[in-house]
Structure 1
Amino acid sequence: ISAEADKVVQDQVKAIREETENRMEALQSKTKELLAESASAEEDNGSFSNVISAKVEETGKLEALVSSLTTDVEKSSAKIQELETARDALDKDLKENMQSLSVKANELSEMQSQFNTEKKRLEDELCAFRKKNEMPNEKLPKEEEEKVRSSVQPRSNTPGGEASSVVFTPITCTESICGLMVKAGKCCYHYGLDINKFNVLAIVNDDKSLYLYSETNKKEEKLCTCQYKVSCLAWNQRGTLLAIGGWHNGNTNNTVQIWDIPERKITKRLKIKDNAQNCD
């Protein structure tokens, strides 16, 4: 019985020992797990501390930014208030100016009406004045034109002033398109002639002599004899001036003569620069 009791006790002790060892192993395993969890918690705590520090720093920056924005808002509010005050003043000035412009516009409208009335009166007076003086004004240019026409007509070279035909010989026209044909001499291998608006013909005869002829009074007039061979001549548009030019071999002055036909005198001589160039 004692041996069996010892065996039972030993078995119980063994069982208790095994259970104790198992519990110790479980406790050690749990302790390791707790230590690992503690280390992980410490790492997380450090990370959280860093995050919290960063957030605190960001919060400080945001607070500074908010403070700056608040200051700017206050300044902007003050500026807006100043602008509103200035706007109110401008609105007041604009209203006063609009009222003044309205008064000026009424005055201008009244002045415009007076101007139109005065303009109409002056236009009526001018129209009446023009009608009153229309006939004299029409006659004056015609009289002046007739005076010029008469002054450029050839003057007979004969003592009695009758028609002459020293150079010009009228020829009967056989063609209906022709009004007059005149036979004249040559000048420098071709006929130098020109006719003005009054149908006064200027023509060169015998190279150096210049004659005028008009079918109106049937007269011819020797205007001049040049010292050189005449190669070209031309009337001006009004028909009162006649330009005469010639060969420079004989034209020692190298000039073109400008004749005032109504006065029968030379009014100007134009110098020609190129001595080697003739007029034709």
Structure 2
Amino acid sequence: MPLWSIVPTWLDIERRFSQSMGYQPGASFQRSPNNEPVSTLQLNLRRISNIRTAFIRAEWQAARRLGRRFADIDIASIINDLIDVVSQMAMIVAGSTLVGGAIGAGIGFGFFGIGALPSGAAGAAIGLEVSTWILAILGLASIAEFFVDGLPQIFDHYVRGIKVAWEGTRGEPGLNPFGGDDPQVVDRAAYHIAQGHEEMVILLLGAIVAYLTRGRGNASVLASEMQASSRGAKLGQWMLQHEEALRRHPDLQNAGPRRGALDKPESPPPPPPPNRRADEPEPKKPLGMAEHEVPCFKVG
């Protein structure tokens, strides 16, 4: 199966919504048999439209931030290629979050009434699919061990941006002065999505640096592997030209997802349980994405 065939389009997402919900009259909400408000297809399509606009704005925002951050290594020559690949990867996350929620909640009332997206095995599957996809597209399978651990927090940015756009699109403009859309919803959603794009590029470049240093990989060998990919060939040549600058760049030393100004600070670790000594290592945690509580998809 071609790698690009697993990337959903916005038209694909809208079509799945339309097929699942069917025709529904009304601008924003209907009533369930329990007299609870349920969003209509028209409102949900407007929500998807706002998410799409936020994704578009996030591309140039992330490109601008990265251009300033890595101006000393001429990232401008490859930034469009990187942002394009990262944006397509983010579409897999968006499709899994939106369409996956539609499938999980079923058809009719209660649509998007689920409480967690994604979680458990589904989250792990999305992480595996995304990491396999982007590394294969760029010919970077060799750096996988330095890449996959940074994905869950980056996915949080995408899910948060989708949540903001979904939650802030509330009603038909002009019909309800107290229930209209948040006028800043697209900009706020784009901020989180752009943060995900930016950190994904840094994670990729940081994983390359880690492979060349801690993994003792060879840049020429890695570039030859990337040459086999149409998307990775240009990046591979750029890497060879700027190898030493990449190794020395402070943002790529132990690169991983970085918290933004709006992110909550990490809480101190809890004390060890009574049956475990303080110096005893913690048991290994299961791999995969953490559960995301997404109350915005509850339309009630």
TM-score where L is the length of structure 2: 0.16
Under a length normalisation based on structure 1, what TM-score does the superposition of the two structures give?
0.17
More strand by percentage: 1
Q: Which has the higher contact order (CA 8 A, sep 6+)?
A: 2
Structure possessing the higher radius of gyration over alpha carbons: 1
